[in-house]
Amino acid sequence: MSVTGSGGRVLPARPGDPKKVGPFRVIGRLGTGGMGTVHAALDSRGVRVAVKVIHPAQAGDPEFRARFRREVALSSRVAGPCLMPLLAADADAETPWLATEYAPGLTLNQHLIAHAPLTGGSLHAFAVGTAQALAAIHRAGVVHRDVKPQNVILTPAGPRVLDFGIAHAADGTSVTRTGVMTGTPGWISPEHYRTGTAGPAGDVFAWGALVAYAATGRLPFGTGTPDVVAYRVMSEAPDLAGIPGPLRELVEKALAKDPDERPSAHEAAEHCTGLLAAHATQVLPVTPVVRPTSVGGLVEAEWHVPGLDDPAWQVRRPSSWKRPVVVAVAVGSVLGGLVGGALALPALDGGTDGNKTARPTARATPGRTPTADGGTGATPAARTAVPPTARSVKDALASVPEPAYTRSEEESQPLPGEWAASTRAETSEERAAVREIQDLARTMLATKGWRDSVPEVTFNREAQTVVVTTGPVPQIPEDQRDLFRRVGEAAACTAVSHRLKEQPATWPYGRYSVHWLYGKQENDASVVGYGDAADGCSREVAGRWHGDEAGLTTAGIPSSDKAEIRVADSTVKALHAAWDARADEVSLEPLDKGAVLLGFDPAEHAMYVWAYEDGYGPLGGRAQQSHLTDVVEKTGCGKLLAEAATNSGWRYDRYVVALYWGVDGETQILDSGTCPEN
């Protein structure tokens, strides 16, 4: 069921619409379709979702329920790039429903009407993203069966393929009604018209038509009655004039009348990825911190489609004089992949004074930052309260009989309303904590390109919580949002743990929470992270630090720090040399040039080293993996400690070794720890 009629925007709810579906709170409508209504809703954290609720008449049809139950089962099997994953569903409810992530943006149809055909990098990114989505669907043993412009949303981060309403398993079992042609005229393959066959090759045919339509704004087989369009599909050549040469050749193969002559979705995705990489207008120097197989980053970097800002998503609450107004200022940029994609993070008012009266928020300029009096001061790196290399204090309240912070034994997450009730710094100690958290966060974020970005820091005395907030950024890649969460947690925990240790009798804050604003209206922000600083902030088990997939994701974001790039380059060369020397000794297979990649996680002060392995390469066995971890610990750690000896701002002394397995990139952490000083 497609979301139609809304242009990607939230429409008002109608009389009789539910207030809640499952765990989701309904705030409006996104559209209607043959199966039911799609509602705009929020989960308990404020995350946007699209909830499909089936029409009551169809819900009472046992055959339809069987098809819907099958749809839910199939959708749960499908995951991959440029798809909207199934979040929850209840096929046996009185009124069945399912919920997916919300895809902001226009459908391809709506975009072509409002704007123009896609060109350049955006066209190639569209071809890559939609082909990748179909490849993921086919890997799960599913056929989409209804690929068409209404089922593709152009989000700010790239295209998204929707709607598995008539998908069915590739084993040929069909749950469609006998004699009913499924699909949409103009997007149905020749073999489907002739024999009713609807397999992966049929999806590829529709994909070819989709790319042609995106590139030209014309339907490749024209318009007319369904019979006329069907005749053209089966008998005539498509109109592909205006499609760039290399892409046109691929589209022509995808639209072949014989399904055996078409490429698979995976082959189409691979071919389009090469075209997209060749089209990239800016090529960064090849350094080990760049992850060359991050196709998602490449798509986002070359994707230039206007997004939508729909204030209807923002659920307003009564204004509070206690809460400072947050104003976004786009000042930072992050390298998004192989090419120069920019991503903005707002710089927020520091709110470091005790004035609760609403006032204009100072705007940041490069190299300057808002001060407590609303003016601008020197670059804040010069006044960092705690050096960037400082670590949190473990067991900060050990042997303290009556600390001011009394919630250290509680493990509950932030309660609703804690964010809204937090206020600006009122005491000199609180203002000093604000500066320290902001400086630590800024130092870490700067390594990923956010040089002038600073989170907001407020305090909830009743909850004994320091609150770190950023936004509003309605849409941002998940890995970038997770970077802010991890940086916010690390900065807050470090500063708070030091104060608990130094001022246990007077410092009342021990908990911290990190929040993300999704829109321009002041609203309860979503909790993305929280913790307690009294026990320290490092993940250690039996005295050993451990890395994780979140840190690996952060390390995969290309660095913009010159020292990190220099150290990464020399370290990777040293790792290859050390491996080659060991390979001669114990008959190891040599590593290909560029096989080992390296990046840094500023939140945990860790160097991540990773490689890709399909099970048949030089790192497929346990003995080879053991050799790699040994080389990283000895040679890689030596490089980190050598840099620390000459660079007072160097913060890295931990290491992680990881593998990405197979085409799906399953992650395995092989080893991690703190570099030995001897």
Q: Give the residue numbers marked as catalytic.
A: 146
Backbone angles phi, psi at 197, to 5 degrees: -70, 130
Classify residue 633 by its DSSP letter: I
Do 124 and 186 contact (CB within 8 A), yes or no?
no
Tokens representing 262?
């078409």
CA distance 213 to 227: 20
Backbone angles phi, psi at 204, to 5 degrees: -65, -40
For residue 423, list its beta bridge partners: 459
Backbone angles phi, psi at 221, to 5 degrees: -115, 20
CA distance 15 to 34: 20
Classify residue 603 by its DSSP letter: T
Taking the chain, what is the end-to-end CA distance rounded to the nearest angstrom? 63
Q: Which of 486, 478, 474, 477 is nearest to 445 (CA)?
A: 486
Cis peptide before 318 (omega within 30 of 0): no
CA distance 44 to 190: 46
Do 649 and 389 contact (CB within 8 A), yes or no?
yes
Do 608 and 552 contact (CB within 8 A), yes or no?
yes
SS3 33: coil
SS3 370: strand
Question: In angstroms, what CA-CA distances link 470 with 131, 366, 431, 438, 528?
Answer: 34, 18, 18, 11, 11
> What type of residue sits at position 404?
A
CA distance 581 to 351: 56
Do 638 and 632 contact (CB within 8 A), yes or no?
no
* DSSP string computed for 121-184: HHHHHHHHHHHHHHHHHHHTTEE----SGGGEEEETTEEEE---TT-EETTS---SPTTPPPS-
SS3 442: helix
CA distance 654 to 547: 9
Sign of CA dihedral 56, 58, 60, 65: negative
Q: CA torsion 329→343→106→1, rounded to 10°?
A: -120
What is the 3-class SS of 48-81, one letter each residue? EEEEEEECHHHHCCHHHHHHHHHHHHHHCCCCCC
CA distance 263 to 215: 20
Provide the CA 70 distance to its chain's centre, in angstroms.
Answer: 28
* DSSP string computed for 466-523: EEEEE---SS--HHHHHHHHHHHHHHHHHHHHHHHHH-TTT----EEEEEE--SSS--
